[in-house]
């Protein structure tokens, strides 16, 4: 069943097209990702989906309710993770959860949220003293207090260390197991790959591609990438055995290939014959990063 339908959503700020005609659907129980670099329009898209920002054009339907016309009813079905900077620093974890619970007609027991977010030991601590990961878990806990079916997480792991990031991934996967529908924005391709059933790759306010992570990678028709420092003409590399595409990333050449072994042997032979030295050679399986590079000519990590 489709839980969310977004049709031709637009938001312009003067001549800047922050969101420029986004259409997508999110199925019930799915983790759906918006993947793109800073400024791609992920937050603006999510805020229009949540009803927190007015769209200039387009429509969002959540659980058969129009976000524009039935905003109040929609809020009962959705949970939005607030940025932790906007929480009341002097309250304790338990106090803020109780305060949020009081905003709703029906809410989950605070105990349940504390356990689910791994915050039982922190319940009496003030928010000010929490680590970044604990604050993010609390922010998600606050979004869950009224037990919504749909949860929006805007870059939930930005700025967290790898361990805190993984613990947040576990929480997202646990929420999925409970049947929640989750919309998550991120600029980490590994996170998108691990968590998302399907994802939309966004750039300059548009959806560049939308599919499962594996299908997006498979659509490139290149299993592996060979990357190395390269100061010569790129065209020299195009006819090497197995190579399907050639591109650059800063001072590096990236060769995509369907046959890593053939391409590597051909590359080494070619550079030997031409007396060209290659530096910093590495090979890897193609990733969502490569999908983004192919679609936009840029790296997700260039911020
Ligand atoms: N209120 C506003 N006024 C003017 N421009 C805005 C406003 N809000 C967002 N923008 C611009 O719209 C574009 C999209 O911003 P948005 O925050 O949606 O991107 P994002 O993909 O979420 O990036 P980030 O990861 O940095 O949050 C950016 O160029 C941003 O500067």
Would you say residue 303 has pLDDT above 60? no
Measured from the CB, is residue 10 less than 6 Å from ligand 1? no
Q: Residue 83's pLDDT band (boundaries 50, 70, 90)? A: low
Measured from the CB, is residue 11 less than 6 Å from ligand 1?
A: no
Using a 6 Å cutoff on CB, does residue 176 contact ligand 1?
no
Tokens of 268: 């080494």
Is 36's C-beta closer than 6 angstroms to any atom of ligand 1? yes
* Residue pLDDT, tens place only, 64-81: 999 999 999 999 999 999
Q: What is the mean pLDDT of residues 21-28?
A: 98
pLDDT of residue 84: 59
- Whole-number Å distance, alpha carbon 18 to ligand 1 midpoint, is 6
Assign domain 221-285 to its CATH architecture.
Answer: 2-Layer Sandwich (3.30)
Tell me which of 59-63, 81-85, 139-143, 250-254 is least confident: 81-85
Tell me, in angstroms, the distance from the centre of ligand 1 to residue 102's CA: 32
Q: Where along the chain do its domains lie? A: 2-217, 221-285
For ligand 1, whether the C-beta of 39 sits within 6 Å is yes
Average pLDDT for the chain: 92
pLDDT > 80? residue 82 = no
Which of left, alpha, beta for 174 (phi over 0: left; psi -120 to 50: alpha)? alpha
Using the atom order of ligand 1, give the atom closest to the CA of residue 41.
18
Q: Does residue 37 have its Cβ closer than 6 Å to ligand 1?
A: no
pTM of whole model > 0.90? no
Class of domain 2-217: alpha beta
- For residue 244, report the distance from its CA to the centre of ligand 1, in Å: 35
């Amino acid at each position: 069943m489709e839980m969310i339908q977004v049709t031709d959503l637009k938001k312009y700020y003067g001549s800047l097209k922050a969101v420029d005609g986004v259409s997508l659907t999110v199925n019930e129980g799915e983790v759906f990702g918006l993947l793109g670099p800073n400024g791609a329009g992920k937050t603006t898209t999510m805020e229009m989906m949540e009803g927190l920002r007015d769209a200039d054009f387009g429509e969002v339907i959540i659980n058969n309710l129009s976000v524009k016309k039935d905003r109040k009813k929609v809020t009962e079905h959705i949970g939005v993770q607030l940025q932790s900077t906007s929480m009341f620093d002097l309250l304790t974890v338990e106090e803020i959860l109780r305060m949020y619970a009081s905003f709703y007609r029906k809410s989950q027991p605070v105990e349940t949220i504390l356990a689910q977010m791994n915050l039982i030991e922190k319940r009496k601590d003030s928010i000010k003293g929490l680590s970044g990961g604990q604050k993010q878990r609390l922010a998600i806990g606050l979004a869950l207090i009224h037990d919504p079916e749909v949860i929006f997480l805007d870059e939930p792991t930005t700025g967290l260390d790898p361990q805190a990031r993984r613990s947040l991934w576990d929480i997202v996967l646990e929420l999925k197991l409970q049947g929640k529908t989750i919309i998550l924005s991120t600029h980490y391709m590994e996170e998108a790959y691990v968590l998302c059933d399907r994802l939309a790759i966004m750039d300059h306010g548009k959806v560049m591609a939308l599919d499962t992570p594996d299908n997006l990678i498979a659509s490139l028709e290149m299993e592996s990438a060979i990357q190395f420092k390269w100061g010569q003409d790129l065209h020299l590399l195009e006819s090497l055995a197995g190579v399907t595409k050639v591109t650059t990333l800063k001072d590096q050449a990236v060769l995509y290939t369907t046959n890593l072994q053939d391409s590597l042997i051909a590359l080494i032979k070619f550079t030997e014959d031409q007396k060209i030295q290659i530096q910093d050679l590495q090979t890897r399986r193609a990733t969502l990063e490569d999908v983004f590079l192919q679609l936009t000519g840029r790296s997700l990590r260039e911020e």
